[in-house]
Amino acid sequence: MLDEQLESLQPPPADADHTLARRYAPLIRFDAREPFFPSVAGYSVIRRNCASPSFPREIDLPENAAFAIEYAIWWDWDIQHLYELEHIWLYVDSGGDIVAAEASWHGRYHQMRDESGSLPLEGCRLALYSEPGKHAFAPSPAWLLGRRAKTAASCGARAGRMGVHVTPLFDGVINDATPLNNRLVHTWLERLRFEPSFEFSTSFDLRRARLVPWHILFEWIPRRVSSWLGHLSATIPPDQRRVLRIAHRGASAYAAENSLAAIRAAAELGADLVEIDIRATADEVPVVIHDSSLKRTHGLDGDVSEYTMKSLRQMTAAKSPVISFEEAVKHCRELGLGLYLDIKRLTPGAARSMFDSLDRHHYMRNTIFGAFRPDYLADIKTARPDAKTSILFGAVDIDPVKLALSINADYVHPCWENRAEQPHRLLKPDWIRAVREANLGIVCWHEERPAEIAALMALGVDAICSDRPELL
């Protein structure tokens, strides 16, 4: 079916624009181990200054350019997520020569000139280099070699983590970024992880891809995404789907809970996300600590909400100092860990501070907000519709779907680990089916028993928390 869908995407009868798009179609150099190649390119021939049809930018023709060609190049896969759309812009003068070129680079775009300032041309055609697995374009390998460590991590340990990545262009057009679909994509791409060689010996002529007008490609893309997800759902059974590994309060079996040391240990032990508890101080700074009281963790009198952040830092400096949310975000970003937040106490000022930190580090999409308080999560969704939320509950007989949908949550999190010897037995088939039909994800915690972890994984839950994340 996937092959038939691709075959159905036929170019229109040859016209002037199609002839130009084919004539100037670039050459692309790929890593020798690259698993993904373009299958379609949507083109637009632009003869006056205007907004780009497919990228958030303006097209300004240089004085010596008669027209521009915009190529929106489609891959079914990026090594971290389902579908990829990268761009190349060529500017051609009245004599038919390319006088300038630009290409996309991780959400931005740059001039395509090499270290000598020259356009990388082969004859009358542009020749660019593509980042392994990620496909950002560069005029020479030097740009890509400068990102070698980051690219290798994306192609290895972080393969598939972004799931169904909906860019602003497809917001409201692609509606498939559900927790289950994200897990299917994660599973598929983790199987395809690879170590780039950074030898760009594979040449790809864009003429090998289907060249169609951009509007045809745009209409086709949502169907293509849905078809791939249907294929993955049919071919990857629940017990083989990748489960998110969440370190509970960091790897708290090995370091003080909610500490930087526990966060570091979580990364070393293979966690995908770290669960941390959030409270607000007297001056509305969000900090990472579980209890309202300082007695259990620090042997001090008083509650977190009674002290300013500065006072808390001074009071706890001698024994695993309380860290701010900002510190936790920065640390997780450096380590490549997502955030699963258990919000214990939230104030308006603390909420704004949390959003500011996540925006500053571009980490909102790597964060799930969780709480037992539905009002907290409802307020978060109202303030930030792009936030992913998870509702925690302890009652066994509650309707998880009604609860989640009432606050527009993305995940349900049954906290049943203390309610039954084998909490997975409480996840009945009808319960799971109802949750899945509502496009909700399932998070469970915290488990350190291998047999119970295996049973939960066999049910196809989306995430499991553990004090010992290596067990996951």
pLDDT the model gives residue 120: 96
Cβ burial 223-237 (10 Å sphere, 16+ → b, else e): ebbebbbeebeeebe
Q: Is 1's pLDDT higher than 80?
A: no
Contact 98, 69 (CB under 8 A): no
Angle 71-76-78 from CA coordinates, rounded to 5°:
90
Instruction: Please name the amino acid found at residue 305.
Output: S
> Distance (Å, rounded) from C-alpha 275 to C-alpha 126?
47
Contact 185, 4 (CB under 8 A): no
The candidate with the shortest Cα–Cα distance to 351, out of 367, 330, 331, is 367
pLDDT the model gives residue 421: 85
Q: What percent of the chain stands above pLDDT 70?
A: 100
Q: Is 320's pLDDT higher than 90?
A: no
Structure tokens given for 224? 């293509």
The candidate with the shortest Cα–Cα distance to 270, out of 257, 251, 249, 242, is 251
pLDDT the model gives residue 219: 96
Q: What is the mean pLDDT of residues 281-293?
A: 97
pLDDT the model gives residue 176: 94
Q: Bridge-partner residues for 81, per DSSP?
A: 78, 163
The candidate with the shortest Cα–Cα distance to 292, out of 277, 276, 271, 314, is 277
Structure tokens given for 80? 């971290």
Whole-angstrom CA distances from 424 to 287, 445, 448 are: 32, 11, 13
Contact 212, 221 (CB under 8 A): no
Indicate the Cα dihedral angle 94, 98, 100, 106, nearest 10°: 130
| Phi, psi dihedral angles at 174 (to 5 degrees) | -100, 115
Report pLDDT digits (tens) over 401-411: 999 999 999 99
Beta carbons within 8 Å of 259's beta carbon, 6+ residues apart: 250, 320, 323
pLDDT the model gives residue 418: 77
Instruction: Please name the amino acid found at residue 409.
Output: A
* Average predicted confidence (pLDDT) for the chain: 96
Cβ burial 270-301 (10 Å sphere, 16+ → b, else e): ebbbbbbbbbbbeebbbbbbbbeebeebbeee
Indicate the Cα dihedral angle 312, 318, 323, 328, nearest 10°: 180
What is the residue whose two structure tokens read 């240089």? 62
pLDDT the model gives residue 318: 83
pLDDT the model gives residue 125: 95
Q: Is 420's pLDDT higher than 90?
A: no
Q: What is the mean pLDDT of residues 419-447?
A: 93
> Distance (Å, rounded) from C-alpha 175 to C-alpha 178?
8
pLDDT the model gives residue 379: 97
pLDDT range class, residue 129, cuts 50, 70, 90: very high
Q: Look at the alpha carbons of 451, 457, 458, 459 in this order and tell me if their dihedral is positive or negative.
A: positive
Q: What percent of the chain stands above pLDDT 90?
A: 93
Q: Is 260's pLDDT higher than 90?
A: yes
- Helices marked H in 407-449 — which ranges? 429-437
The candidate with the shortest Cα–Cα distance to 132, out of 277, 32, 246, is 32
pLDDT range class, residue 12, cuts 50, 70, 90: confident
Contact 222, 170 (CB under 8 A): yes
Q: Name all domains of the chain by residue range, CATH numbers in brackets.
A: 2-237 (no CATH), 243-471 (3.20.20.190)
Report pLDDT digits (tens) over 56-95: 999 999 999 999 999 999 999 999 999 999 999 999 999 9
The candidate with the shortest Cα–Cα distance to 274, out of 322, 366, 337, is 337
Contact 189, 236 (CB under 8 A): no
Instruction: Please name the amino acid found at residue 303.
Output: D
Q: Bridge-partner residues for 55, per DSSP?
A: none
Q: What is the mean pLDDT of residues 233-254?
A: 96
Structure tokens given for 441? 């994800």
Report pLDDT digits (tens) over 141-176: 999 999 999 999 999 999 999 999 999 999 999 999
Give the containing element (helix H, strand E) for 217. Answer: helix 214-235
Alpha carbon 210 to its chain's center: 28
> Distance (Å, rounded) from C-alpha 121 to C-alpha 153?
31
Q: What is the mean pLDDT of residues 441-452?
A: 95
Structure tokens given for 398? 């509650």
The interaxial angle of helices 214-235 and 179-191, nearest 10 deg, is 80
Q: What pTM value is reported for the model?
A: 0.93
Q: How many residues does the chain have?
A: 472
pLDDT range class, residue 13, cuts 50, 70, 90: confident
Q: Is 8's pLDDT higher than 90?
A: no
pLDDT the model gives residue 276: 98
Structure tokens given for 116? 């000598």
> Distance (Å, rounded) from C-alpha 265 to C-alpha 283?
30
pLDDT the model gives residue 298: 92
pLDDT the model gives residue 381: 97
pLDDT the model gives residue 255: 97
Q: What is the mean pLDDT of residues 201-219?
A: 96
